[in-house]
Each structure stands twice: as structure tokens, then as C-alpha cells.
Structure 1
């Protein structure tokens, strides 16, 4: 056997070439990816919103409260003495006048008592006449010193006693006359009687419950309601200035206007448990539309703000910044703008600070917006609700930039979406 060593095997160069090609291809691909111009990212579509223009106008300052119809008088007619009812002179639900007959108590016992008092009066008057005649004789005898001084003095006292007895008798007769008057029960006030509480034949006693009848005044009437203590100062300021504040009553569902009256009284104390004070308004109620103890919605017109900045109420948002609106900028974008709110009538809201007349705000579509978002205005309205000719929001905003740099100005009233 030969001792020759094995011949070494050489690695083929073909694998190296393939590896080199792959590396070069990766380098070229990376360079192409880095150097090739990229397409600009597609911009987000602008949000379609509804906008409106802030305007100057009047705004009534109205307090809306829940009220109760409170009659000026509710009287329970009670008997003043005891006896059987012989008749009842009213019909249930009837309107009665002051002094009208309501019921009759049997007067015979009181008539007898009066006759006895009159007899006693006649007797005491006769005694008084005799005592006065004796006093006249005793006076003459006393002047002549013919009787004792004690006798004369006793006769004077006797005359005074008889005079007092006559006065007692007269008072008794007057009392029985009053009792006879009380037997004939009449209406103490004008109004409407309720349901019958007693019938003829019932025995009633003085001040017995439930009484003879309840009378409630229907016209005029009042409505009682409360206002919060924060609103009291403006009400008192207007009343102390001599202003007559109108009050309007609406139905319980606020769908129908019932009557119009005037505020006439403010309570002298505030309820500490609720922080409210009670007010009362008077109503003529000629048509009797306001019914006693009925619940009504009350609107008190305290004042009217003139030349106030008005925006539609849907434009006002509340969130982390507080009260704010989305203000339309000159480049068709919106920005969050904090505002201070004033009174509102439900349709429009007063902006006391933060906006000026002519500024454009978003009224619909705010749930999809954020600060700096692009918008496309669908329509432009002013705070009064009127539409304006369609133009771009940016054009409307730029035309008003001379009035206010931070937001579109008064000329933006013609703003709307580009078609």
C-alpha cells in the first residue's frame, strides 16, 4: 500500500458570486427606497358643519319658575252660635256676592232671650225713675238740713246703681240682636262656594268643623312662585326703580299661555333650606283660566338687554375648558374659544365676553371637531335664524379680518360652504 496523502478539495467560487449579487441587490433596493421621491400623504377631508354669525340684538332677561295659583281669599264660613239649621241658601259651585244669604239657624231661642232682656230693661228703667224722684226730694231736704247726710248719699248711690243696671240691660239686648244676626249667615267675601258641608236639620255649634261652606275668590287671583337668591337683586332693583314687571303664566306642560299679570309683592324672608325667596303676582283672571291651587309655569320678565351679542344656543359647548364655542378662522379651520354666557331664551344665548358681532361659530357638527380641524361650512345663519348667500367660510372670514384679527368679523354674515 502506498503512503500518498489525499488531495485537498477547493470551494467553488460560484457561491461567493451569488452572495455578492444578493448583497448588491439589497443595497440598490435600499438606495431606491431612500432616494425615490415619496407621494405626499393624503390630507384628511374637511368636516362639513353648519355655521352661524354672531349678531347684536335685544335679549329679554326672563326667570322661568314653577308657581301655584293662590286665591286672594279662601274663607271657611263657621257658625258663630249653636242651633239647628233650618235652611241652606246656596248651590254647590255657585258664585256669591259679599253679604249674600248662605244659611239660617233657628232664631227662636234668641228671640225669647231678647224679649226677656227687654222686660228686664223696662223694670230697671222704672226703678231708676223712682230712685231719681226720691233723690230730687232728698236733695231739697238735705239743703234744709232736714235729713241725715248719710241718707242723701245712699240715695245718690242707688241712682247710680239703677243707671248701671239699665246699661247692662241695653248691652244684653244688643248681644241678642247680634245673635239674631248670626242666625242669618251671609257670605263674608265674594267668590265661589265649594261643595256643601252641611244640610238643613243639622245641629251646629259655635266654630264647629268643617263649617257651613268654603268660599274662594276667583277673580282677581294671584300666583305664588320662588326665585333663587342670585336673581333677587335684579328683581328688587327693578321694583325699587318703579318698574312694573310683567309675569306670564303657562300651562303645566308649558304648551299654552294662560294669562298675563304683574308682580306686586316680594316676601320679607328667604328660605334658608332652599336659598329662594317667594314672590307673588296678581292676575285679573276675568276668564277664570287660572284655577285655585293649580300648578303653572311662570315667566317673569326682569329686564331686556339691548345690543347684546347673540349666538344660536347649539353653538355653545361645555367641557374641560368651560363654556366655549368653535370659532371659524380665516383659513377654514376652527379653534376652541372660551366665552362667558349671559341669559338665554332657548333659541339664542347672550355672550357677555369672548365674542364680537360678526364672528362665525359652528352650530352643528361640533361632535366631530377638534382644535385646528378643517371644516367646510354647509350653510351660514345669523343668530336670528336667517340664511345668507353661499360663499366659502374662508372668504367670509378674510373679509372681516380688518375688524378682529383673532376671528372673522361682521362681514362673515354671508359665509356658507363652497358648493
Structure 2
């Protein structure tokens, strides 16, 4: 089950939103964590500094901490009653003494713990420590400190960070909207171009875009259109030629049948001509089917290792009688060792058959068949001693139904080229 596709614009905006929010969350979390540690560290040092006056504990670091003058004092007894409430000298008395004592009582805090603890009152962390002294038996001194200035600063910075996030996200989305529009619009243009091609309109549409990849895509689309047009033209020409080739033997068959019916020619003579044209028609249809299968790659040929010398000699024997009637001899120049190659024997027989058939058309007295193995490459040559092919015809002989000086149409050499190409081979013609 495929997910519903999303537009590029939505995907890009979603990604940038997630990334920005993620980055700002990380920054906010890191800042708050570091700053909270900073507040706790300073509160602890300030409380330790003031506690040292009562307990005479040795201090590590500076003996006068910057926040120590913000520490305040509450004196209670073992029943959690406030006995004396006084600040450090020269500082005003501040509020939350009763809440602190109540929190200590409700949470059953050990009055002899001597630890640095904290409580949260109205979203404000208050750090405190409980100190006992031999000078004041039965009484407990609670030093506490409110880091209001730092906490307020922390909240202010967090608020500023979220405001920055909002405007950064807004600016990023606006920028991304313009950027994605500049990308999506060309893609939609190319999409319409492709849709138009699918509907049969194969006219070119050359457009310029500032993005290299989009330009390359548009260029590739136009190259595809050119190839489609060329293929359509080739196909039209092919069907025209096929129609002509099929019409000719059919007309001959029809005329011979009519001649035999009215007595102009004998049934024997007419049947010989009809038989010949039927063979020609069958061969043409077979060639068309072979070429169609090769181009569509509709069936994967079954391949095995064979000796090419045997395939060539066996195929040439089929033309022995025709060659003898025209006083043409076959000469074989093969390697003494087997020339093994993995191929489909039927397809290679078609190659050799078409090449020999073509050579018989031009040969005077002999056709030379060569098969050699040189430097990990296999060479097959079919040479005749005829007049050769005109230089102007050489570039076109592999074209379907190309008409040479003898007026012959055909697709035999085109089939040969297609089969050779399917084996990643190469074929060429030399004429003297």
C-alpha cells in the first residue's frame, strides 16, 4: 500500500519547520540545562560560604562569593517554630520564610542533614541548607537564597529564544515558499510537456530555467521528442515499404490465378510462379517477425556454447545447390581449433543465411567464408568476388528496405545488424 504522495513545496516546508524547531528545542534545552547548573552551582557556593561562619568548615575557592550577600537566615526549633527571622546584616528582610519552614516540615526533612536542598515555590527555586551549632543548642539555622535575578534572566532569554524561533520560522517559510515555487513551476512545465507528448503532440518545447538540472531535464525531454519523431518516421516508412513488399507478391499471385482461370497461362506454369511468390512472401513475413522480436526483446534467446565453424558450414550447405546453379563455389577459411562462443544457434544461422544470400546476389565465381579467433575476439567474414557496392550505398545498406543499384528492397542486413548488436558485437561492410 503506497502512501499518498505530497507536493515538493509541502515536503520542503515540513522539513525546514521540523529542522528549525528541532534546532531551537536543542538550543533552548542546552541553554536551560547549562544555566540551571550555573544557578545551582552559585547558590550552593553562596550557602556554603555563609554556613562556614557557623560550622567553621574549610572553603574551596574564593572566600567571598558574589551571591553570598543575598543569603538570608531563619532560626527554628525542633518543633519547626520560627524563633528568629533576621537577614544577613545590611540587607532587607524578604518573604518566603513560613513557606520554607512548612515545606521542610511537610517533607519531613532531616534537620541535621547539612545538605544543600531546594524547593519550588510559585515557580521559583529556593536553595537552602540547615545548620546546627553548639553555640545555639536546640535551634536550627536555615540559610536560604532566592536566585531571582538569574532565574528571571533565564526566563527572559528563553522567551527571546522562542520569539526568535517564531520569526525565524516565519522568515524561513516565506523564503522556502519562493524557493519551492521557483523549483515547482519548471517541474510543472516539464510535466505538462510530458503530458502533451503522451497525448500525441510531439512538437519541441525549448525553455530556459536558471537551475541546471531542470534545464538538463527539459533538454532530455526534447531529445526524447526528436527520437520519437524519428522513430515514428522510420515506422511509417517501414510500414509503407512492408505494404509495398507484401502487395507485389500478392498482385503476382492474383494475376497468375486469373491467367490460369481464363486459360492465358497453364496451371502448371502459374503454380510454379505462385509457389515462388508464396515462398518469398513467407520469407518476408518471417523476417518481419524476427525483426519485431529483436526490437521488442519479447523473448530471451536460449544460448549455449557452439562451434561457430560448424554453424557457418551447416548453413552454407543449404545454399549449395543455388550456388552450383550459378557456378559459384564456397571457400572455407577457418581456424584449425574450435571457435567456441555462447549464442543462440537459430539466431546465428539467420545471420549467416542472410549474409550468404546477400553475397550470392553479387558473387561471380566464389564466396569465401572465414571464421577466426584473434586476441580474444571472434571474426566472421563473408566475402564475394562481385563488383562490390557503390560508395554512396555503403552507409545505407543496413537501413530497412533500402534500394540498391539492382533495385532490391529488403530487411535482411538490418536483421543481421540487430542480432549482432544483441551480442554486443559490431558489423561493417567493405567494398572494393
TM-score bracket for this pair, using the shorter chain length? under 0.3
Provide the TM-score with structure 1 as the length reference. 0.26
Structure number with the higher helix fraction is: 2
Provide the TM-score with structure 2 as the length reference. 0.25
- Which one has more relative contact order, counting CA pairs under 8 Å at least 6 apart? 1
Structure number with the higher strand fraction is: 1
